Structure 1
């Protein structure tokens, strides 16, 4: 992480976190080290799925020629249902570094993760170069990572999906928006999920949407997310190398030390 002794960083700025409820601690610590506060605007909370049908779908997915885990939450939910090391019979893949770490923590040795930590990076991995006629397991949650399944199916693969957790929508409390209204600027909006950004945006009044357009700098974890933010009128965008806390902290440092941020 960038040295915290950089005195060009303004004080009193605010990080807006869209991570799931209860998963803001890493970003909050990173923001504090850079002299910022954090306002958490979780659009959902995560809930593990259980039951015989869930276990059956997971077992079928894990037996495929390739298995893709889309998030650390997917790994943790699957591990609660199945001993993962005993289930690995083929290469397992992840979208990013955090998910790969979660699999390693469960005792999985063979993990393929792209350097570009998004759906497009995953689809570019050599182990997915020739997938026609192949069964690919997708361990995920309803509504997430649709690009992966769609492009693999378009390439001729058969997707066996195992939804092992779900995202339960949350209403953003007015008190959180009130706190943000009185928080220091610039506001840095950390975006690692397009669905999270969309769910937040749909809850905001036109006045709040305009305020974010005016006061927020988006930290976008991929080019696709940057384009999505810009389509909403959030034109001040800084690209992060990926969605991890360290990568978002580096993007925050870049945004805060740019001439327009001071």
Structure 2
């Protein structure tokens, strides 16, 4: 299991990070800097979308009125296809996605508190979308709430799938580390799909052991999903930002 100092606000507690494979190194450093032990248990793997995404992305940047980015990964994979230059109004589902967009020089609007699809839909820019071109930039799957509400509102919706989500490959080291977790470990959850993938990928006894730890959920919806999946002790963080998840893990 990864080593960390036993001093600091996390006092040596194991923090299980379920972010997509290859994306959690900075998060792990934050955990270690606060005296915790970071255990990477990815619930997702991110893959580049089909090259066909280049054409709809180009058209969205050039012609649509509103661009909605659903995650920092959506920004990363879109920027790998082409420069993100546009005159459209750019919206982000949360502050992490907004920060990624600002690094590409874009002015961004994002919900300050409820950093999910519902919070995004509450932004004034989306109150009246009738007849407007709206591009949703992200990956296929998810709840479909954004698509449903935008279509119901009369938007001309364009879906631009620049990446895809798959289950991460877990090996014996992951399973053994889960089996060694103490009940005071914290399992950080910010994706319902990652939660479902972990449930399906871990052996039943390892999953049961994981559920004996304390889940830290990034939203009310994730809190309910964690309880339904078998976690008996669940805390809710203010958002999916790493700082908020770590604060709730203390």
Query: TM-score normalized by structure 1?
Result: 0.85
Following the alignment from structure 1 to structure 2, what is the Cα–Cα distance between the partners of residues 187 and 159?
43
Q: How does 1:47-66 map to 2 (within 5 A)?
A: 47-49=47-49, 51=51, 53-62=52-61, 63-66=63-66
Which residue in 1 is equivalent to 2:215? 218
Runs of 4+ in 1 over 6 A off after TM superposition: 4-7
1:14 CA drift (Å)? 1.1
Equivalent residue number for residue 27 of structure 2: 27
CA contact (8 A) 1:12 1:185 kept: no
Structure 2 distance, partners of 1:174, 1:6, is: 29
Larger relative contact order, structure 1 or 2 (CA cutoff 8 Å, min sep 6): 1
How far off is 1:169 after superposition?
2.5
Aligned residue number for residue 152 of structure 1:
150
Deviation (angstroms), 1:50: 5.2
The DSSP-based 3-state class of the residue aligned with 2:46 is strand
Unaligned runs of 5+ in 1: 254-262
- The alpha-carbon distance between structure 1 residues 227 and 60, as it changes in their structure 2 partners (threshold 3 A), is same
Which stretch shows the higher mean deviation, 13-22 or 174-183? 174-183
2:225 is matched with: 228
- The 1:173–1:5 alpha-carbon spacing in structure 2 relative to 1, beyond 3 Å, is closer
Listed as ranges, the matches of 1:108-257 within 5 Å are 108=106, 110-115=107-112, 116-144=114-142, 146-214=144-212, 216-253=213-250
Q: Report deviation, 1:10.
A: 6.5
- Structure 2 gaps, min length 5: none
| Aligned pairs, number | 244
Deviations 1:14-45 (A, max 9, x none): 11111111111122122223322122111332
Partners of 2:31 and 2:37 within 8 A in 1: yes
CA distance in 2, matches of 1:212, 1:157: 43
Question: What is the root-mean-square deviation of aligned Cα atoms in Å?
Answer: 2.2
